Amino acid sequence: MYKNPTVWPRSMVGGHVKSDNRQMKTFVGTLDTGEAIAYVDRKRYLWILSVLFPLQPLTGIYLHHLTGNEAWIFFGILVTYAVAPLLDWLLGEDENNPPEEVVMQLERDRYYRRLTYAIIPLHFGALIFSAWYATSADLAWWSYLGLAMVAGMTAGLAINTGHELGHKNSRIEKWLSRLVLAVPGYGHFSVDHNRGHHKDVSTPEDPASSRMGENIYKFAYREVPGVFARAWKYEKERLENRGKSVWHADNALLQSWGLSLLIAAAFIWAFGWAMVPWLLVHHVFAYWQLTSANYIEHYGLLREKDNQGRYVRCEPHHSWNSNHIFSNLVLFHLERHSDHHSHPLRRYQSLRHFDDVPQLPNGYFGVYLLAYVPWLWFRVMDMRLLDLPHVQGDLDKVNICPEARAAIFLRYGRDKMVEPTIGTI
C-alpha cells in the first residue's frame, strides 16, 4: 500500500520544509488549537502524467516508424488496458487527504491549473499528428483504423480535461472546456454534465447513471442519445429565457460542434476523404471512454427521496470511488468521484478520500475491462453493491434496470417484488 504521511506539524523555513535533503513546497494552515499544520503534496510533480498520457498515439507512431512493425500502432491499447491496471494493482491505493486548513492555498496554487491548460494543445497535437501519419504512412487498413481507435481512446481523455475545466467558475476555463471538447466532437458534455448529470445523478431519471442489471452495451444505447437530448433541452431553455433562439451564436453546444466540424473539414481538405471513416472511428472510441466511465461511476446507486418526494442531496456514498494511484495520476483525480459529486467545484488536487463509500476493485481502466464482460461484471459488482452499508441487501435502495427487475429479485431471494416485469440480466 502507498501510504506516505503527508500532514504533520513542523517548524517552517521560508515556506518550505526539508525532507530527504530536498526542498518541497509546503502549504501551511492553522488548526483550531492555534498550532500550525503543514501539508506537502507528494504527488505534485507526478500530476504531469495527466498531461503526458494523451500522447500515447505518438509513442506508438514512433515505435512503428522505428521498427516498421505495425503492431506498435496499438501501443496505447496495451498501456491503457494492461499496463495501467497492473500498475494500479502493484502500487495500491493512496488514501491521504489534504487538511481543510490548507485547501484554499492548494486551490489557489496556479501550478495545478496550468497543467490543465498545458494539456489542451497536446490533445490537438496528438489528433493532428495521428491523422497526418494515418494518411502519410504506408499502413494496412487494420492499422489505419487501429490508429484511429488509439487516438480516439486518448481523445476520450480530452473529455476528462473538459470535465475538470468545465466545473470551474472562471470564464477562461469554461471557454477552454468548450475548446478541448471539440477534439472528440462532444461539445454538449459540459452543459449536460453540469446542469443535468449533477442534478439527476444516481436516480432513474439520469441517462448517465447506470442501473443494476443493465450491461454496458445496453447502457450506451440509453446514455449517448439521452445526454445529447438533455443538453439540447437545457441550452434551449437558457437561451429562450434570455429572449434568444436556440440557433443563436451564444449556443454553447453549437460553438463547440462548429469547431469540431471545422476540424473535420480541415482534415478532409488536408488529408483527403479517407479522413471520414478515420474520424468516425476516432469519435466513437472517444465517446466509448466516457460511456465506460459513466457506467462504472454510479452503477446501481440510488439517492433516496425525502418526505416531500424530492431526491436528497448527493452524498459521497452515491458514487463509486477509487484511490488507485496510477490511474488517478493520469486522470486528474477523476476516480475520487465521491468527493467530486459532493463538492463539484473542488479542483482535482484537493479531492478527498472518504471511509465507508463504495469502492471499485481497481482503477478505472481495469474496471472498464470488467464492465466489458457483463456476466463477470454482474458477478463481481452486484454483491459489492448489495453489501454496501447503506444498502445491506435492500433492493428498494438500489437503482434497478426495469427489464432486469424480476430476474434480480428472483436471483437475490426477495419475495417482495414491486412492478415485476419479465426480463433477464
pLDDT of residue 383: 95
Phi, psi angles (nearest 5°) of residue 13:
-125, 105
Say if residue 21 is exposed, middle or buried (CB neighbours under 10 Å; 0-12, 13-18, 19+).
exposed
Q: Is the pLDDT of residue 180 over 60?
A: yes
H helices of 22-109, in order, are: 48-52, 56-67, 75-78, 84-91, 100-108
Render pLDDT for 279-327 as a digit per residue (tens, 0 to 9).
Answer: 999 999 999 999 999 999 999 999 999 888 899 999 999 999 999 999 9
39: closest CA among 110, 108, 106, 111? 106
199/336 Cα distance (integer angstroms): 18
Task: Please tell me which residue, 16 or 248, carries the higher pLDDT value.
Answer: 248
SS3 18: strand
H helices of 68-140, in order, are: 75-78, 84-91, 100-108, 110-136
Helices 374-386, 364-371: crossing angle, 10 deg rounding: 120
Phi, psi angles (nearest 5°) of residue 30:
-120, 125
pLDDT of residue 414: 54
pLDDT of residue 168: 92
- pLDDT more than 70, % of the chain: 91
pLDDT of residue 12: 36
- Residue 383 C-beta-side C-alpha neighbours within 13 Å: 6
Task: Please tell me which residue, 6 or 376, carries the higher pLDDT value.
Answer: 376
Q: Is the pLDDT of residue 247 over 50?
A: yes
Render pLDDT for 35-83 as a digit per residue (tens, 0 to 9).
Answer: 888 889 999 999 999 999 999 999 999 999 999 999 999 999 999 999 9
Residues 6+ apart with CB under 8 A from 120: 161, 176, 179, 180
Phi, psi angles (nearest 5°) of residue 269:
-65, -40
* Residues counted in the chain: 425
Residues 6+ apart with CB under 8 A from 277: 145, 148
pLDDT of residue 16: 38
For the residues of 186-225, what is the DSSP string, one character each? -TTHHHHIIIIIHHHTTSTT-TTS--BT--HHHHHHHHHH
Residues 6+ apart with CB under 8 A from 261: none
The position carrying cell 507528494 is 42
pLDDT of residue 24: 67
Q: Is the pLDDT of residue 89 over 60?
A: yes
In this prediction, residues 246-256 reach a mean pLDDT of 92
- pLDDT more than 90, % of the chain: 84
Is residue 278 a contact partner of residue 263, using CB atoms and an 8 Å limit? no
Render pLDDT for 254-286 as a digit per residue (tens, 0 to 9).
Answer: 998 999 999 999 999 999 999 999 999 999 999
pLDDT of residue 164: 96
pLDDT of residue 106: 93
> pTM (2 decimals)?
0.90
54/311 Cα distance (integer angstroms): 37
Q: Is the pLDDT of residue 419 over 50?
A: no
Q: Which three cell numbers stand for residue 318?
A: 452515491
Parse the chain into domains and list their residue ranges. Answer: 1-40, 46-411
Planar angle of CA 406, 411, 413, nearest 5 degrees = 100
Render pLDDT for 108-136 as a digit per residue (tens, 0 to 9).
Answer: 999 999 999 999 999 999 999 999 999 99
57/68 Cα distance (integer angstroms): 15
Q: Is the pLDDT of residue 227 over 60?
A: yes
Rounded (to 5) percent helix, strand, coil in the chain: 60, 5, 35
User: Which helix (H) or strand (E) is 387 found in, with range?
Assistant: none
Task: Please tell me which residue, 235 or 169, carries the higher pLDDT value.
Answer: 235
Cα 270 to Cα 46, 132, 225, 266, 267, distances in angstroms: 37, 9, 31, 6, 5
Render pLDDT for 372-392 as a digit per residue (tens, 0 to 9).
Answer: 999 999 999 999 999 999 999
